[in-house]
Amino acid sequence: MEQVRNIVILTGAGISAESGLRTFRAEDGLWEDHRVEDVATPQAFRRDPELVQRFYDERRANILAAQPNPAHAALARLDREWPGELLIVTQNIDDLHERAGAARVLHMHGEGLSAWCTACDARHRWEGTLSDNPPCPSCGEAALRPDIVWFGEIPYRMDEIFAALARADLFVSIGTSGAVYPAAGFVQEAKRTGARTLELNLERSQGSAWFDETRLGPASGLVPAWVE
């Protein structure tokens, strides 16, 4: 393989599936219980804040009960040992990459264990519930929302992501259906700037045609094998 220095890795719900966290679009997906427009939009939050807060309360509890799987562990090892640039851009709101030991992680869709105060803009690590309207530890206002990027909101740190893609020699996509933008477009950006592109997924995704190579199987097997 030609000299690879800089790697960008995009992960989606599929990398956490074997940790027991449900994906979005599988038959048991999250969206089945709640219609997308019912929970993951600012409009839904304005219309029915209690429903949305309870949805994320449940997700937060599931995240705390989950454990990293061999795929997270393999990426953490790669992050520790890789001498060049490496960035794990995750669409996931769980902290399993970090709990496996990864450091260079960017949560473009926010974090389930973070609460964002809409009154004073402070962000707080949050493991409990928000549906009971707790006061913001900074300003005391009962104005905390999930620190999550909903549909129609702008993902976090897009400039950092595009700068990393511009420098990447290798782009690896793991466990994502390629259904949601702008994340689904990163492979095209990586190709445009000359990176090799690899997809590791349980099944072919909406973006598979854009990848130089697609390997199909569970992440817990594919990712450690690729990192070796």
Residues annotated as catalytic are 109
CB atoms within 10 A of CB 46: 9
For ligand BV8, which stretch binds (CB under 6 A), given 75-83, 113-121, 148-156, 160-168? 148-156
As measured in angstroms, the least distance from the Cβ of 153 to ligand BV8 is 6
Regarding 148 and contact with ligand BV8 (CB under 6 A), the answer is yes
Residue nearest to ligand BV8 (CB): 14
Scored b (16 or more CB within 10 A) or e, 150-174 reads: beeeebeeeeebeebbeebbbbbbb
As measured in angstroms, the least distance from the Cβ of 83 to ligand BV8 is 27
Residue with tokens 């997924």: 201
As measured in angstroms, the least distance from the Cβ of 25 to ligand BV8 is 4
Q: Is 91 annotated as a binding residue?
A: yes
Q: Which lies closer to ligand BV8 via its Cβ, residue 66 or residue 141?
A: 66
Q: Which lies closer to ligand BV8 via its Cβ, residue 104 or residue 109?
A: 109
For ligand BV8, which stretch binds (CB under 6 A), given 44-52, 77-85, 129-137, 195-203? 195-203
| 126-63-148 Cα angle (round to 5) | 55
| Cα 160 from chain centre | 15
For ligand BV8, which stretch binds (CB under 6 A), given 42-50, 80-88, 116-124, 145-153? 145-153
Query: x/- string (CB under 6 A) for ligand BV8, residues 77-116?
Result: --------------x-x---------------x-------
Scored b (16 or more CB within 10 A) or e, 88-127 reads: bbbbbbbbbbbbbebebbbbbbbbbbbbbbeeeeeeeebe
> Of the candidates 150, 171, 186, 210, which one interacts with ligand BV8 according to CB under 6 A?
150
Residue 115 · residue 123 · CB < 8 Å: yes
Size of interface with ligand BV8, in residues (CB under 6 A) = 36
Length of the chain, please? 228
Query: x/- string (CB under 6 A) for ligand BV8, residues 155-184?
Result: x--x----------------xxx-xxxx--
Specify the DSSP element, H or E, that contains 110: strand 110-117
Residues 124 and 115: their CA atoms lie apart, in Å, by 5
Contacts of 148 (CB under 8 A, 6+ apart): 40, 56, 93, 109, 110, 111, 112
Extract the annotated binding site for substrate. Answer: 56, 59
Extract the annotated binding site. Answer: 12-31, 56, 59, 91-94, 117, 120, 136, 139, 175-177, 201-203, 219
